[in-house]
Amino acid sequence: MRFLIVNKFLYPNGGSETYIFGLGRQLQEMGHEVQYFGMDHPDRCVGNSVNAYTSNMDFHAGDSDTTFGKITSKSSLGRFRKFTLPLRIIYSREARHKIRQVLDDFKPDIVHLNNINFQITPSIIYEIRKWDKTRDKSCKIVFTAHDYQWICPNHMLYIPGHNGISGEICDRCKGGRFIECSKHNCIHNSKARSLIGSVEGYYYKWRKTYSMVDTIICPSQFLYDKFAENSRLKEKLVMMHNFIETERVSVSSFSHNSPDNYVLYFGRFAEEKGVRTLLEATKRLPDISFVFAGSGPLEKEINSFADKHDNIKFVGFKSGDELKNLISKAKFSIYPSEWYENCPFSVMESISLGTPVLGADIGGIPELIISGNVGLSSDCGLLFKSGELSDLSNKIRTMWSDKELIDRMTDNCNKKDFDSLNDYTVKFIGIVQ
């Protein structure tokens, strides 16, 4: 079969890219043909035969001419194009034109959508269906929901904090009340960008665009349940946890009493990840060593915090074998998120490397750590109440002090079965055929 994988970023940028590159590679190894469509970028590492991509757009960055984002292309933007930028964030004629070139050339059997909103826009769904009518054999559209974008304009079900005010979990857009995004400046704390998000939500709801997709893959039961609240989407949903590529390592040589014993946080340094709450917990636990590995908006804050506290070590961004070694030698890792995480690769990676996880009881995190009810002997860690400093501190102390508990959870981690990339791909093919 021929698979066209569509994602806004075609270079390593986050979890969704880890997913599409792994899936695409495995599909090719199984003998299928795979091409990609998304934005052009200097770091783009996959593509299509006709080299058709949309202009690179950074929705996070502003410039002197617009508050909506920055577009880069070979030719300079005229005033008209800049004026129409908000409309093109919602609906892109360029994306429709470019993906049509790929469709005509590659003739895919499956178009696999991933993160497409704002930079590519769901308008390409119309072009796929329009092109599909010209063929004898039907082309299926599959969507993997890496976040909540199709039911929440800021994709997180979370209002970001600003000016000293903490962020908060939010379900106000439930039932298609997308005006709430504008009311609360949910996208980058910007009134203009949030208005665009609200308009986009209402436009594709009115057009019933997402109903044109054949299958929606949900990487967590939690996300599945949220999407199932929309009656138009419910019958299209399939729940399937993400795959894990990390090979298991032996942790038999690890001593819980070694001088370099530590607790690890690795990943993105951002407010919604609960990093600030974790930092406060480290102050309450001066005898416990913490290692922070990663990057993000709060990187300078964490680095400064580490300079002032002897039990904190900041090691910067790590990847590959260096990160695996860091994870496998940790006593346990912490995932303190304060938004509805979907199916975080970090939790799966930690468990697959034999390292228990202390995770927030939010989103899809509990599904990966707890087997059924809290407290079962097969658990791979503990849960704490998301955002609760005292509970987090107490659970860290419990896991740090109880060697028997850690040993049992480590053994459970080594027995935990996540889908390998190969197993996941076999299931994926079975769903989309």
313 and 182 in a common domain: no
- Is 355 found in the same domain as 335? yes
CATH number of the domain that 170 lies in? 3.40.50.2000
Same domain, 268 and 334: yes
Q: Are residues 122 and 172 in the same domain?
A: yes
For the segment 381-399, the average pLDDT, to the nearest whole number, is: 96
Tokens standing for residue 80: 């008209």
32 and 140 fall within a common domain = yes
- Residues 169, 49 share a domain: yes
Q: What's the chain's length in residues?
A: 433
Residue 258 lies in a domain: no
Residue 240: per-residue pLDDT: 95
Return the pLDDT at 251: 44
Same domain, yes or no: 204 and 292: no
Angle at 120 between CA 116 and CA 121, to 5 degrees: 75
Whether residues 185 and 314 share a domain: the answer is no
In angstroms, the CA 110 to CA 3 distance is 5
Both 220 and 274 in one domain: the answer is no
404 is in which domain, residue-wise?
A: 263-415
pLDDT attached to residue 38? 97
Q: Which phi and psi angles does 32 have, rounded to 5°?
A: -85, 155
Q: Are residues 314 and 390 in the same domain?
A: yes
What does the DSSP 8-state code read for residue 311? T
The verdict on 189 and 65 lying in the same domain is yes
Give domain status of residue 299, yes or no: yes
In a domain? residue 211:
yes
Residues 22 and 47 in one domain: yes
pLDDT at 260: 55
Domain total in the chain: 2
- Determine what percent of the chain is predicted with pLDDT higher than 90: 75
* pLDDT confidence tier of residue 88, bands split at 50, 70 and 90: confident
Torsion sign over Cα 173, 175, 176, 179: negative
